[in-house]
Structures are given as structure tokens and as C-alpha cells.
């Protein structure tokens, strides 16, 4: 067992240091580990079988549909309308553009289900505007990067679907509903930090809009916001499952982008479909290789060993959850969110359940934790996208990111130790 674990860890780390894509790194290190465990023929066959089994799930059909819906929304002028709507709500306060950025990222991230899409769409518009108004460029980029991750908690969220698969079938609908309060909490924390920074640096007060103009912007944003209502409302009311809701989201997004807003032409659809296929292929490869790695970890009894070690270390629930969070925070700095959820859920969920923690609560805690990793080097995908859009080096982003990180970590520990934040809404709706 010790040799196989050593091979797995060393090969994976070396491949990451060589900048091999994360999915390929996971697959190669898994194959190498199996070669030290079972004969070469069965090893290769087992990896292939586990990859095929890993993506052979009806629930995963929702992922390409939500990705397509997000791409349609990102191409259909939704971001600009949500920004205008956010300006009506919070734009008149000191440092108002920072709050507009955060609120717009929360709304667009929830609608698109993608932190990278929110960073690109909202950041591409808001960062130049904030720069022009005298806000610090590094601060503007840091706000966009951190705020865009809130959409991974506020449904519809692909990563919560992945967690449902990894946890053995926790209700996707319950996870979707559970993500609202933690996602809003994290957004409010970022707004509070931004408010302090805005006052200290004397950032300008946003202009007020007339009632008529505000009403117009609200009306323009309503069709976009209705996507969340239709998807989540339909799931709660029992009209369709989460997978069926993803298909409804595609149909609604298509009508909105092509017919209502008319910012996506029929000639644009092949390119949108191609982008969706590319993104789906990456996600499915990550899921397949991660499931194979999870199998070899289970084969070597690693989850059971870690569980016994954690439980034997102390009987304090507070300490064990703190250790789990610290491990996940470190993991999030070098591993993408999808493989992290697939690999570490089977390891830590049994420990959490042994402590009396609800699987829904644990899933929200885990996803919020890994959201922080998306904003940290060396594998923080959202961080690198934001750096490129804001034209700011990673080193210059570290300082303005630190207070925003603190707000995210505080939100993480509140969600960890106050189960009500994750479970109140699912229990209210009978999950």
C-alpha cells in the first residue's frame, strides 16, 4: 500500500509541475499506480472501465445542458443588462461600482453556472469602467475574481451535480436550494470588505438614476432573472427533475438570446455548440479520470485509513472539521474543483457523517472551500482569467486579494459550524 500511494502522489505532483493538464495528470498517475498494484493488462482495462463507468450517469446529462445555457447567456447580452440592474440597486453608494461588480457577478454566475464565464463577461465590462472612474486596477480585478465564484453555490451549479454523483446520490434539488444562503453570505462578505476599502481610499459615489430609467433597466433584466426562477421553481414545485431543468434552461436561454434580445444570430449557433462541446469534453474527461483515481484510492483502503486517523486523532467535531477545511484549502490551490470533489468526497464525507454532519451541509461546505482555490495560484483558473482580462500580473493581485480572501474564509467557517445556513431552505421545502 505504501509504495502505491507514494507512486500516486509523486507522479501526480511531478506531472503538475511539468504543466501537464490536470485531467491527463490524474489519468497517468492512476495508471502508473495500478501498474504497481495489479498486472499491466488488467490495470489498463480497469482504468478504462472506471472512466467509462464514471461518466455513465443520467444526472451528468445536466452538465452539458447547463454549459450550453451558460454559453448562450454569455453571448446574448445578459451581462450588460444585469450590470445595469445592479447599478440601480447599489450603484449610488460610495464605491458603488465595486458593489455593482459583485452583485452582477453573483447574478450572472448563478444564471450561467460558471465562474470563468462570470469573470469574462462581467469583468470584461466592469473592470475598464472602474479603471476609468479612478478605482485601482488591481482591486477591480480582485473583486471580479472572488465575486465570480459565488455563482458556483447559487444554482444552477454544475459542481453541485458532480458532488451529488461523488456522494452516492445526494439530492441535486436539495443541494441547489441549500446553496442560496451560503452564496449570498459570501457575496455580502465581499461587499462589506469592498465598502471598507472604498471608504478608506475615497472611491467615488455612483450617480443616481431616475425612477423611469431604473424601471426600464429592471424590465430589461427581468427575462434574464426569470431563468433562475423557472429552473429552481420548477424543481421545487416538482414539474421537472434537475436534469430536465437543464434542458428547459437551454430552451429558455435560446429563446431569450435569439428571439427576445436578438444578440445571438442563427449563424452564431454552430460556434456556440462547438464551444459547449469543447467545455463538456474537458469536464467529462476530468470526471472520468477522477473516478478512476477514486477507485484506486478505495482499492488501497486509503479513505478508510484517513477516516480512522482523523477520528482517532480527536473526538472534537470542531477540530476535525477544521482539519478537513485546511486540507481542502491546500488541495484547492493546486487541483481543479471537479477532480477535487470526486476524489476527496469519498474520503471526507464518511468522516463528516460519522460526526453527525448532513451530506447536504458537507457538500456546500466543500464547494465553498474549493471556490477559494479557484482564486489562488498555481491552478486558480478564475484567477488567471481575471488577470488576463484586467491586464494585471498575479503578483500585483495578491495584496488586494488578501482582505477578500479573509471574507471568504470567514464565510466558510460560518457555513461549516452553523448547519442552519445550508439546511434551512432544504428543510423548509421538504428535502
Is-contact 125 80, C-beta < 8 A? yes
Assign 3-state DSSP to the chain and report helix, strand, coil percentages, each to 5: 80, 0, 20
What is the Cα–Cα distance from 115 to 95, expressed in whole angstroms?
23
pLDDT of residue 379: 67
What is the Cα–Cα distance from 2 to 4, expressed in whole angstroms?
6
What is the Cα–Cα distance from 256 to 142, expressed in whole angstroms?
31
Tell me the pLDDT of the chain (431 aa) as tens digits: 567 778 888 888 888 788 788 888 888 888 888 887 766 667 778 888 888 888 888 878 888 888 888 788 777 677 777 777 777 777 677 778 888 888 888 887 777 777 777 787 788 878 888 888 788 889 989 999 999 888 889 888 888 988 998 888 888 889 999 999 999 999 999 999 998 998 888 877 766 667 777 788 788 788 878 887 888 888 888 888 888 888 888 898 888 888 888 888 888 889 989 988 988 888 888 888 888 888 888 777 777 777 778 777 777 889 999 999 999 988 888 788 888 898 889 889 988 998 889 999 999 999 999 999 888 876 677 888 888 888 888 888 888 899 999 999 999 999 999 999 999 999 998 87
271 within domain boundaries: no
pLDDT of residue 2: 66
Q: Are residues 171 and 100 in the same domain?
A: yes
Four-residue CA torsion sign, 405, 392, 72, 286: negative
Q: Are residues 111 and 136 in the same domain?
A: yes
Cα dihedral 102→175→368→278 (10° resolution) = -80
pLDDT of residue 178: 94
329 within domain boundaries: yes
pLDDT of residue 314: 78
Residue 266 CB burial class (10 angstroms; 0-12, 13-18, ≥19): exposed
In the three-class reduction of DSSP (H, G, I as helix; E, B as strand; rest coil), residue 94 is classed as strand
Grid cell listed for 276: 459547449
Q: Are residues 397 and 335 in the same domain?
A: yes
Q: Are residues 294 and 319 in the same domain?
A: no
pLDDT of residue 295: 84
205: phi then psi, degrees, rounded to nearest 5: -80, 135
The total domain count for the chain is 2
Q: Are residues 180 and 234 in the same domain?
A: yes
pLDDT of residue 324: 92
**418: which DSSP letter?**
-
Q: Are residues 67 and 212 in the same domain?
A: yes
Q: Are residues 130 and 183 in the same domain?
A: yes
Q: Are residues 24 and 133 in the same domain?
A: no
What's the gap between Cα 183 and its chain centre?
10
pLDDT of residue 238: 80
Q: Are residues 334 and 411 in the same domain?
A: yes
279 within domain boundaries: no
What is the Cα–Cα distance from 104 to 108, expressed in whole angstroms?
6
Q: Are residues 323 and 350 in the same domain?
A: yes
Question: What count of other Cβ atoms lies within 10 Å of the Cβ of residue 194?
Answer: 26
Structural domain that includes position 309: 55-264+300-428
275 within domain boundaries: no
333 within domain boundaries: yes
277 within domain boundaries: no
Task: Write down which residue in 273, 299, 325 finishes a domain.
Answer: 299
C-alpha triplet 264, 265, 270: angle, nearest 5°: 95
Is-contact 39 141, C-beta < 8 A? no
pLDDT of residue 408: 95
What pTM did the predictor assign?
A: 0.86
Q: Are residues 254 and 292 in the same domain?
A: no
Cα dihedral 31→35→41→42 (10° resolution) = -80
Rg, C-alpha atoms of the chain = 22
C-alpha triplet 161, 310, 54: angle, nearest 5°: 30
What is the Cα–Cα distance from 4 to 34, expressed in whole angstroms?
8
pLDDT of residue 39: 66
CB within 8 Å of 50: residues ≥ 6 apart:
288, 291, 292, 295
Task: Write down which residue in 256, 272, 299 finishes a domain.
Answer: 299
pLDDT of residue 342: 87
276 within domain boundaries: no
pLDDT of residue 357: 93
328 within domain boundaries: yes
Is-contact 145 389, C-beta < 8 A? no
Is-contact 44 31, C-beta < 8 A? yes
Grid cell listed for 325: 477545511
Residue of 355, 348, 361 lying closest to 305 (CA atoms): 348
Task: Write down which residue in 245, 276, 299 finishes a domain.
Answer: 299
pLDDT of residue 208: 67
Q: Are residues 209 and 148 in the same domain?
A: yes
Any idea which residue has 456556440 for its cell? Answer: 272
Q: In the beta sheet, which residues pair with residue 94? A: 205
Query: Which residue blocks in 269-393 are alpha helix, DSSP H?
Result: 269-299, 302-313, 317-332, 337-354, 359-373, 381-390
CB within 8 Å of 221: residues ≥ 6 apart:
81, 82, 84, 85
Amino acid at each position: 500500500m505504501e509504495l502505491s500511494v507514494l507512486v500516486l502522489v509523486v507522479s501526480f505532483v511531478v506531472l503538475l509541475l511539468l504543466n501537464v493538464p490536470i485531467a491527463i495528470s490524474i489519468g497517468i498517475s492512476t495508471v502508473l499506480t495500478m501498474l504497481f498494484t495489479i498486472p499491466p493488462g488488467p490495470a489498463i482495462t480497469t482504468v478504462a472501465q472506471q472512466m467509462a463507468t464514471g461518466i455513465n450517469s443520467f444526472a451528468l446529462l445536466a452538465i452539458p445542458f447547463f454549459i450550453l445555457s451558460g454559453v448562450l447567456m454569455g453571448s446574448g447580452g445578459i451581462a450588460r443588462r444585469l450590470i445595469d440592474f445592479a447599478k440601480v440597486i447599489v450603484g449610488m453608494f460610495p464605491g458603488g461600482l465595486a458593489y455593482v461588480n459583485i452583485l452582477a457577478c453573483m447574478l450572472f454566475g448563478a444564471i450561467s453556472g460558471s465562474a470563468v464565464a462570470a469573470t469574462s463577461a462581467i469583468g470584461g465590462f466592469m473592470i475598464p469602467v472602474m479603471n476609468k472612474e479612478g478605482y485601482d486596477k488591481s482591486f477591480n480585478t480582485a473583486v471580479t475574481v472572488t465575486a465570480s465564484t459565488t455563482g458556483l453555490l447559487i444554482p444552477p451549479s454544475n459542481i453541485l451535480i458532480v458532488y451529488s454523483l461523488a456522494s452516492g446520490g445526494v439530492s441535486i434539488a436539495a443541494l441547489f436550494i441549500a446553496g442560496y444562503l451560503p452564496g449570498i453570505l459570501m457575496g455580502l462578505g465581499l461587499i462589506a470588505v469592498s465598502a471598507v476599502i472604498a471608504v478608506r481610499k475615497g472611491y467615488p459615489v455612483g450617480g443616481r438614476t431616475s425612477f423611469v430609467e431604473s424601471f426600464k433597466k429592471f424590465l430589461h433584466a427581468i427575462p434574464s432573472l426569470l431563468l433562475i426562477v423557472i429552473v429552481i421553481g420548477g424543481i421545487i414545485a416538482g414539474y421537472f427533475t434537475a436534469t430536465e431543468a437543464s434542458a428547459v434552461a437551454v430552451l429558455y436561454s435560446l429563446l431569450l438570446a435569439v428571439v427576445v434580445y436578438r444578440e445571438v444570430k442563427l449563424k452564431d449557433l454552430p460556434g456556440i455548440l462547438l464551444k459547449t462541446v469543447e467545455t463538456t469534453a474537458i469536464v467529462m474527461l476530468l470526471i472520468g479520470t477522477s473516478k478512476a483515481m477514486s477507485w484506486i484510492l478505495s482499492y488501497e483502503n486509503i479513505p478508510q485509513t484517513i477516516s480512522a486517523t482523523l477520528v482517532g486523532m480527536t473526538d472534537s467535531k470542531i477540530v476535525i472539521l477544521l482539519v478537513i477545511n485546511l486540507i481542502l484549502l491546500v488541495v484547492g490551490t493546486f487541483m481543479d474543483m471537479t477532480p477535487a470533489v470526486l476524489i476527496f468526497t469519498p474520503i471526507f464525507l464518511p468522516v463528516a457523517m460519522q460526526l453527525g454532519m448532513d451530506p447536504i451541509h458537507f457538500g456546500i461546505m466543500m464547494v465553498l472551500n474549493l471556490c477559494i482555490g479557484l482564486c489562488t495560484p498555481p491552478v486558480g483558473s478564475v484567477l488567471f482569467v481575471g488577470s488576463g482580462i484586467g491586464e494585471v500580473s498575479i503578483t500585483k493581485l495578491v495584496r488586494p486579494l488578501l482582505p477578500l480572501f479573509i471574507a471568504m474564509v470567514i464565510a466558510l467557517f460560518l457555513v461549516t459550524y452553523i448547519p442552519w445556513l445550508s439546511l434551512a431552505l432544504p428543510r423548509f421545502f421538504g428535502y
